[in-house]
Structure 1
Amino acid sequence: MSANSRLTIAAHTLAWIGLYQRQGHEVATSEQIAGSANTNPVVIRRLLGELREAGLVESRRGAGAGWSLTRDLASITLLDVYDAIEPGPLFALHRANPDDGCVVGHGIQPALHDVYAGIECTVRTELSKTTLEDVLQAVLAVPR
């Protein structure tokens, strides 16, 4: 199973837009962001659509089309981004109920439920401690 990079790409996208706006630009295009993230602009557009639904970015059509932040990076946490793009739980139980006649099938879901809930709580707490301003400042501090 591969790791999910959607949160990383979304944080990259928002930090990039924030920096670009600080440099005096009003909007950023998905092509520009995709170049920085080294991914397809369609991937960026899909994420930006979800971020727009969450109220973190807005788009402009027509001449001068592009994306801009709706809030300052200091007021957007990684939890805000996570909630915008990953609305479901981090871990899920079986899609179909396991065999209740099997000792493991009978007890696996109750055994894992509290573990998963604790992990979810810890992840949410940690993500809420970091703003995108923190992320951008850490990015800018990395030696080139």
Structure 2
Amino acid sequence: MAQPTNTQFAVGVHLLTLLAGSPGKWRDSQSLAVSPATNPAHARRILGQLRTAGLVRSQPGPRGGWMLEHDAERIDLAMVWLALNGEDPVLGMHAPQPDCPAGRRVHRSLLALDRRARRALLSELARTTVADVLRDTASAVDVD
């Protein structure tokens, strides 16, 4: 099975779910990185983007770490997608040969399709919160 090249969204949701499982507690990137099988620096990069979007907060120092900025019920997965992907296309796009009329038309068509796919994706992701993911996983595993 083909693997996606960008796993930031999945790792981001994973990290947020771990934070949601420890409400009011600071979690360091070293311990957070274990469950999604990533390294602490990668976890910090993703958490930094989530902080910029206002989804998490951080505190430096030995008693610091990361914590959700809002209740997990208020953070939907569309917010996470947008924080980590911004306005990037959902579909893999390429630039056609500029002098090729067919290439330009195909490109315009794919751009329109990408906008529709993005709306559908964000609509679906908005239906699920981090709290929903935590509930789905809490019965199967300990998220702490």
For the criterion TM > 0.5, the same-fold answer is: yes
**Unpaired segments of 5 or more residues in structure 2?**
none
- What is the aligned partner in structure 2 of residue 40 from structure 1? 39
Q: Looking at both structures, which has the greater relative contact order when contacts are Cα pairs under 8 Å and sequence separation is at least 6?
A: 2
Partner of 2:15: 13
What RMSD, in angstroms, separates the aligned Cα atoms of the two structures?
2.0
Q: Which moved more, 1:57-66 or 1:73-82?
A: 57-66
- Supply the AA of the counterpart residue of 2:8: R
User: Structure 1: which 4+ aligned runs deviate by more than 4 Å?
Assistant: none
Shift, 1:66, TM fit = 0.6
How is 1:102-113 mapped onto 2 (pairs within 5 angstroms)?
102-113=100-111
Please give the alpha-carbon distance, in whole angstroms, between the structure 2 residues aligned to 1:85 and 1:93: 18
After TM superposition, the score normalised by the length of structure 1 is: 0.86
In the TM superposition, what is the alpha-carbon distance from 1:140 to its structure 2 partner? 1.5
Structure showing greater radius of gyration is 1
CA–CA separation in structure 2 for the residues paired with 1:41 and 1:122? 32
Distance in 2 (alpha carbons) for counterparts of 1:106 and 1:60: 49
Give the Å deviation of 1:92.
5.4
Q: Secondary structure at the match of 1:37?
A: coil
Among candidates 130, 134, 140, match of residue 138 of structure 2:
140
Counterparts of 1:111 and 1:12 in 2: how far apart (Å)? 34
Aligned residues: 139
Q: Give the letter aligned to residue 134 of structure 1.
A: D
* CA positional deviation for 1:63: 3.5
Structure that is richer in helix per residue: 1
Partner residue of 2:90? 90
Distance 1:110 1:5 in 2: 27
Sort the Cα spacing of 1:98 and 1:45 in 2 relative to 1 into closer, same or farther, 3 A.
same
TM-score, normalization: structure 2?
0.86
